[in-house]
Structure 1
Amino acid sequence: MVSSATATNGCAAQALWYMGSETVALKDIRVPDLQPGHVLVKTFYSCVSRGTEGLIFRGAVPESEWQRMRAPFQEGDFPFPVKYGYASVGEVIGGDADLIGQTVFSLYPHQNLFTLPSDACVPVPASVPAHKAVLAANMETALNALWDGKPSPGDHICVVGGGVVGLLTAYVCGQLPGSTVTLVDVNPARAQIAGELGLQFCHPDNVPLDQDIVFHTSATAAGLTTALSCAGNGASVVEMSWYGDQAVEVPLGADFHSRRIRLISSQVGTIPPERQERWTYRRRLQTALSLLEDPRLDQLISHRVPFEDTPVRLPEVLNKASDVLAALIVYDQPAEAPASSGQT
């Protein structure tokens, strides 16, 4: 059923494209006719993935990964030009009558109006504000990492790297009864956020040793070296970083083998094999959304960028040296949205 709320098919919209190395642009497009089983979504917010989109922005996606790296609704082909992104929240304004008026999350690129299959939308719980629901993709990454690493109640846990994924990973680990979770980062400003999330904090020069499990999210060789150094004998280090086409030096000499440290890869693109018979991607996404209720997680959104300003603002957001956590792209905000948090 197509609602009368849909003004016209083939209406005008704008989308963000990565046009070339360190070049982004907004392109005018026409939204396809609304097909049966699809919905029309007006975007409220989308979130920039600084890790993945930073690699795309710099043209650092290796050719071997051009197909595996495709986002669900990507247009264009790597290296350029590509319309890329996977964290969008908006309101269904046409299509499936059961979804009209609902706020939904979808793995759609940065675009102000779009159509997609109804089953590709996941309703956002009423307890999760629309602006914070964009973190669902990052929370999925954290959830998947816990499945891969299998931390337990009472564990001493380190998370090396205090970006959004690292903070969410540490936050979820901190919900384990009796756990002691330490966030490790070179940026002392992360100490305040860690404390408000109930985490300990330290600089890489002063990491705790003999940790039961360590998660690494900094995407640097130095961070991985730190992660290996604080793992206890027989412990696991879960590598969550993706380095693109960058070669990484890993210190596997000295006592790495004698201490029987396990280095485990974690990648959100697949569900761990032991869960694939029971867990679908939709169930994982629904769970990730439900884990975003805590008001303390608002502070992970550090910057807000108006959609029309993205060609000018995004290069700085994606600069490795910039102190950005989650950068929210703001379109038409819902009427009930809270006052803006973070920088502008």
Structure 2
Amino acid sequence: MMRVRTTASAVSKGTEALVHTGRVPTRIAELMRAPHQLGDFPFPVSYGYLAVGVVDEGPAEWLGTRVFGLLPHHSHHLVTPDDVEPIPEAISDHRALLAGAAETGLNILWQSPPRYGDRVAIIGAGMIGTATALLASHLRLERLEIIDTNPERRALLTGLGLTALAPEDAGDDCDIVIHTSGNESGLARALEITGDDGTVVEASWYGETSPTVALGADFHARRLSIVASQVGQVPAGHRARRTRSQRLRAALSALHDDRFDALITGTSRWQDLPQLMDELSSDTTTAAETLCHVFDYEEGT
């Protein structure tokens, strides 16, 4: 065992807001547990899975190593070496927190891999959608569009060199559409712009919400496929050749792209976590503007 002193943690807004408001379906509660979760859904529960820190007790070869782990919002953690991954030297603590988003994006792209020259759209430019877009931008695609209703978010994406459009302006006849908005209207638009025999990768998690899906029009008539992507398992196409640890290392390596820094949209002291979770779980300006919010941990507190 070794001890990690947390230097920063981050909120995965979509999932953690569902947990914070007690909307994890009972039937899948065990499947949705975070790796180092304390307690059981709905409450009381200690949750979270984006944390970085420094090993301050343990094997000599690990002492002083900066690490990322799927760990909750705690000041310290007792872990094994298998629970964490060293952070590359060139990547800051704050950017390293996005390893979870990059890992999810990588999992999405592995789920139904785009091919050379494909037309791909990503609907929903939250933390996961934007991270997936940054990864996909390195592929040789004919077209990559990120679709979002928020003009400020589209401006941010344009500044990162991505093509960002309003839903009504999205190109159609897509080979793959990745849906990450968590909104049924986004899923409906995904079905409309997917080309015949194309695939919608559903990466949103709705918790106890039951979205209405318009399957009477495009879905059957144009022979579309909807496939689920969930980061808890490596997709079947890669599972025999990639472990979860290898996937996380690949995600950390992807963070050498400096554009990921733009996903950090706010920072607070760790003591402000309860109030911030209330804001992120409601219809507030903070919730609308947040991609990844970071909590800093002062040494010795």
Aligned residue identity for 1:274: G
Shift of 1:192: 2.1
Residue 298 of structure 1: which of 241, 246, 261 is its match? Answer: 261
Which residue of structure 2 lines up, in the alignment, with residue 244 of structure 1?
A: 207
1:74 aligns with 2:69: no
> Partners in 2 of 1:193 and 1:255 — Cα distance?
31
SS in 2 for 1:189: helix
> Partners in 1 of 2:221 and 2:42 — Cα distance?
42
> Partners in 2 of 1:60 and 1:178 — Cα distance?
37
1:39 aligns with 2:7: no
> Partners in 1 of 2:250 and 2:261 — Cα distance?
18
Q: In the TM superposition, what whole-angstrom CA distance separates every residue of 1:15-46 from its partner, at most 9, and x where no partner exists?
A: xxxxxxxxxxxxxxxxxxxxxxx111111111
SS in 2 for 1:105: strand
Which residue of structure 2 lines up, in the alignment, with residue 32 of structure 1?
A: none
Shift of 1:131: 0.8
Aligned residue identity for 1:189: E
Aligned residue identity for 1:212: D
Aligned residue identity for 1:328: V
Contact 2:47 2:73 in 1 (8 A): yes
Contact 2:21 2:281 in 1 (8 A): no
1:118 aligns with 2:55: no
- The normalised TM-score by structure 2 is 0.95
4+ residue stretches of structure 1 with deviation over 6 A?
Answer: none
Which residue of structure 1 lines up, in the alignment, with residue 186 of structure 2?
A: 223
Q: In the TM superposition, what whole-angstrom CA distance separates every residue of 1:224-268 from its partner, at most 9, and x where no partner exists?
A: 001111111111110000101111111111232121111111110
> Partners in 1 of 2:36 and 2:205 — Cα distance?
21
Residue 328 of structure 1: which of 282, 294, 301 is its match? Answer: 294
Gaps of 5+ in 1: 1-37, 334-344
Which residue of structure 2 lines up, in the alignment, with residue 144 of structure 1?
A: 107
Q: Within 5 A, what are the aligned runs for 1:97-246?
A: 97-246=60-209
Q: Within 5 A, what are the aligned runs for 1:266-285?
A: 266-285=229-248
Contact 1:45 1:88 in 2 (8 A): yes
Which residue of structure 2 lines up, in the alignment, with residue 58 of structure 1?
A: 21
SS in 2 for 1:40: strand
Which residue of structure 2 lines up, in the alignment, with residue 8 of structure 1?
A: none
SS in 1 for 2:108: helix
Shift of 1:154: 1.8
> Partners in 2 of 1:199 and 1:232 — Cα distance?
22
> Partners in 1 of 2:261 and 2:34 — Cα distance?
26
Shift of 1:99: 1.0
Contact 1:160 1:183 in 2 (8 A): yes
> Partners in 1 of 2:208 and 2:39 — Cα distance?
20
**Count of aligned residue pairs for this structure pair:** 296
Shift of 1:113: 1.4
> Partners in 1 of 2:226 and 2:273 — Cα distance?
38
Contact 1:215 1:237 in 2 (8 A): yes
Aligned residue identity for 1:101: G
Contact 1:173 1:179 in 2 (8 A): no
Which residue of structure 1 lines up, in the alignment, with residue 275 of structure 2?
A: 312
> Partners in 1 of 2:283 and 2:191 — Cα distance?
23
Give the root-mean-square deviation of aligned CA atoms: 1.3
Gaps of 5+ in 2: none
Residue 228 of structure 2: which of 244, 265, 276 is its match? Answer: 265
Contact 1:128 1:290 in 2 (8 A): no
> Partners in 1 of 2:283 and 2:57 — Cα distance?
39
Contact 1:96 1:118 in 2 (8 A): no
Aligned residue identity for 2:119: H
Kindly name which structure, 1 or 2, has the bigger radius of gyration based on alpha carbons. 1
Choose between structure 1 and 2: higher helix proportion. Answer: 2
Distance of aligned partners of 1:312 and 1:254 in 2 relative to their CA distance in 1, 3 Å threshold: closer
